[in-house]
Structure 1
Amino acid sequence: MVTLFDSNDSFAYPLPAISVDTSKAKILMDYVNKTRNPAANIHKSEAVFDPTAPVVASVSSRGPSLITGDILKPDLSAPGVEILAAWSMNASISDYEGDNRSANYNIISGTSSSCPHVTAVAAYVKSFHPNWSPAAIMSALITTASPMNPSYHPDAELAYGAGQANPIKARSPGLVYDAGASDYVRMLCNQGYITTIGLITGDNSTCPKDSNGSPRDLITLQSLSLIDSGSTLQVTVNPNVLSFTKLYQKQKFVVTVSGPPLSYYSNPSASIIWSDGKHDMRMDE
């Protein structure tokens, strides 16, 4: 079967078949047409190291968010290609009509494969910090994610977000960015939902008079920027040292990015890292 997808990706077909890309298909057809008794051998599968991994699949959705462009999307990445997972016995393993084969497990790809990984990491972090809010857990996952190689992703953070989820580091991030209901209300107000905020919240919430149509003031939700090498932009953090004297203490800081206008197609990116020598809390944009 000739496919436009990567020939290394696994698919279940209703008939015995192999998938090859168009270039390999031409080689095979030339061999078949020029050989009296064409033959092929099926060898044992081998595990091959891929030095480019992890890489976001080409079919994975990219950012930015069409609704809130000032907040980085996607948040982070997780394994989602060729995942061995539980499968309903009531569903065909190939999803083709007329294929009545069933199994308890199947190899599948997509967001429905990566989301369970992130859900499990969130539950794992919650087991260590049962009093943490969803926003705090999300912060732990994002600030401890393993960086991914931008040379394989021209769209950088708009492809992989903060990086690949790292369960071990996420359980002890050292610092979290929390948010509560009032923070989300303020963000919606700054998005311009000034007269309709009550319809969204379902209560008597109102917006401050100084709401300016931008979510940039929501520091606890904002993904902040450093700029990659070679950029003409300048980044400053004030204060550049945060001192904590007790657990759950809160601190504020301001990140300022300045420089000449960027072109429409530019995509500068890098990270701000808060470090105490043991924990590295990274923020990307």
Structure 2
Amino acid sequence: MNNSVFQDLVHVQSCDTESLSLSNVTGKTVLCYAPAQAAITPPRAELHSLINRTIEAGAKGLIFAQYTVNLLEILTSCEGFMSCALVDFEIAQRIASYSKMTESPVVKISPAVSVVGNGVLSPYVASFSSRGPSLAFPRILKPDIAAPGVGILAAERDSYVFHSGTSMACPHVSAVTALLKSVHPNWSPAMIKSAIVTTASVTDQFGMPIQANGVPRKLADPFDFGGGHMDPDRAVDPGLVYDLDAREYNKFLNCTQGLSDGCKSYNLNLNLPSITVPDLKGHVILRRTVTNVGPAEATYHLVVEAPAGIDVSVEPSVISFTQGNSRSATFMVTFTTRQRVQGGYTFGSLTWSDGSTRSVRIPVAVRTVIQDFVADTS
């Protein structure tokens, strides 16, 4: 239902049952704007019940103020009952100020429009997307990768609907995995994963850093998107991959079940396309091995983006492959903290580049600590 004329506007703050009952909202458009409560009741959890309460109160329109979060599919609950619109807090503040300063405020909700192409900020990380670090396995970076998962047109029964969530992102990653396997049938699962992670993009279509929705919106980091937003075209020819065989996964499984010794060192040296050091007290040395899946003759130079407050050294910083010799090379990475603090995570990356088209980037996350089982809770 769309408003074709202006309607009376009433600002009802949080729009809880009591506030709606105390306000004369019948036949009016209600502004629900209570930013102080957003951290207590997330918009995704609140909006559906709020729509029902507003309809029951007799309102004919709803303007819901929210931080940057994806809620459009929930607005289908308004269809046939009232016009609904989503605005951010800045716009809501302007509407609220207008309502307060005007004796008889009115508003008209116009039909939504679609914006495509260069007018759209994309990609960005959805507010509901799972975030790291991994609590059970802090030395394993999670998530691994980001993929399209918001407002995806999906088949449902005999029709199509827009859905969001992991159920939408997973098919994208699965499809890219299948395509890579068809091009490289001899690649292991770890090689395919590495190709996807190390060639992902950390910038949007304008070359700006990817942003992450939340409270507030911020620049995304590896705990938001892992290696970044996947890029299938680049993944098909990564140049280098970080490989693992089933025996390594079995050793990791034994570590998770307490059946092996030396698991801390093993987890740090697990040949993943990422590095996470959750408890750096002074310095630590770990290793990674890359396998050349590109041209037999190739030289790669390392570009280091060091996490803030951390010194990073890598040996060697140049690796060369020649015809007839080994297609694998191992390098050692040393992280040294510049301050003794019980700190938070800082982020960086290690990127092997052949100076041409291949750039193989792994994300790095490091947290400094003074001692175990001590947290900065102030």
TM-score interval, normalised by the smaller of the two chains: 0.7 to 0.9
Task: Please give the alpha-carbon distance, in whole angstroms, between the structure 2 residues aligned to 1:176 and 1:269.
Answer: 21
Structure 1 counterpart of 2:128, which letter? V
1:200 corresponds to: none
1:34 corresponds to: 104
* Residue in structure 1 matching 2:327, options 249, 253, 262: 249
Query: Does the 8 Å CA contact 1:186/1:218 hold for their aligned counterparts?
Result: no
Task: Please give the alpha-carbon distance, in whole angstroms, between the structure 1 residues aligned to 2:350 and 2:253.
Answer: 26
2:123 corresponds to: 54
2:252 corresponds to: 187
1:94 corresponds to: none
- State the SS of the aligned residue for 1:19: strand
Residue segments in structure 1 that go unaligned for 5+ positions in a row: 90-103, 195-206
- State the SS of the aligned residue for 2:350: strand
1:101 corresponds to: none
- State the SS of the aligned residue for 2:154: strand
Q: CA deviation at 1:24?
A: 3.9
1:166 corresponds to: 231
Q: CA RMSD in A?
A: 3.3
1:10 corresponds to: 72
Q: CA deviation at 1:262?
A: 6.0
- State the SS of the aligned residue for 2:309: coil
* Residue in structure 2 matching 1:176, options 218, 241, 244: 241
- Pairs aligned (count): 255
Query: Does the 8 Å CA contact 2:305/2:350 hold for their aligned counterparts?
Result: no
Query: Does the 8 Å CA contact 1:173/1:279 hold for their aligned counterparts?
Result: yes
2:86 corresponds to: 20
Which segment is superposed worse, 39-48 or 60-69? 39-48
1:146-165 map, 5 Å: 146-148=201-203, 149=209, 153=218, 156-165=221-230
Structure 1 counterpart of 2:165, which letter? G
Task: Please give the alpha-carbon distance, in whole angstroms, between the structure 2 residues aligned to 1:33 and 1:6.
Answer: 31
Q: Structure 1 length normalisation: TM-score?
A: 0.75
**Does residue 235 of the first structure (1) align with residue 303 of the second (2)?**
no
Show CA shifts across 1:226-257 (max 9, x none): 5547x332111112222223598222111111
Structure 2 counterpart of 1:54, which letter? P
- State the SS of the aligned residue for 2:174: helix
Alpha-carbon distance change, 212 to 80 in structure 1, aligned in 2, over 3 angstroms: closer
Task: Please give the alpha-carbon distance, in whole angstroms, between the structure 2 residues aligned to 1:77 and 1:43.
Answer: 28
Structure 2 counterpart of 1:221, which letter? L
- State the SS of the aligned residue for 1:63: coil
Greater RCO, CA 8 A, separation 6+: 1
Task: Please give the alpha-carbon distance, in whole angstroms, between the structure 1 residues aligned to 2:199 and 2:243.
Answer: 15
1:85 corresponds to: 154
Show CA shifts across 1:210-238 (max 9, x none): 53444445341261375547x33211111
1:106-125 map, 5 Å: 106-125=161-180
1:221 corresponds to: 272
Task: Please give the alpha-carbon distance, in whole angstroms, between the structure 1 residues aligned to 2:235 and 2:186.
Answer: 15
**Does residue 75 of the first structure (1) align with residue 144 of the second (2)?**
yes
Task: Please give the alpha-carbon distance, in whole angstroms, between the structure 1 residues aligned to 2:145 and 2:69.
Answer: 26
- State the SS of the aligned residue for 2:320: coil
Query: Does the 8 Å CA contact 1:179/1:220 hold for their aligned counterparts?
Result: yes
2:187 corresponds to: 132
Alpha-carbon distance change, 2 to 61 in structure 1, aligned in 2, over 3 angstroms: farther
Task: Please give the alpha-carbon distance, in whole angstroms, between the structure 1 residues aligned to 2:329 and 2:108.
Answer: 70
Q: Structure 2 length normalisation: TM-score?
A: 0.58
Higher Cα radius of gyration: 2
- State the SS of the aligned residue for 2:122: coil
Structure 2 counterpart of 1:224, which letter? I
1:95 corresponds to: none
Q: CA deviation at 1:191?
A: 4.6
1:197 corresponds to: none
Task: Please give the alpha-carbon distance, in whole angstroms, between the structure 2 residues aligned to 1:84 and 1:15.
Answer: 19
Structure 2 counterpart of 1:242, which letter? I
* Residue in structure 2 matching 1:281, options 342, 360, 365: 360
Task: Please give the alpha-carbon distance, in whole angstroms, between the structure 1 residues aligned to 2:196 and 2:92.
Answer: 41
Higher strand share: 2
Alpha-carbon distance change, 185 to 24 in structure 1, aligned in 2, over 3 angstroms: same
2:346 corresponds to: 268
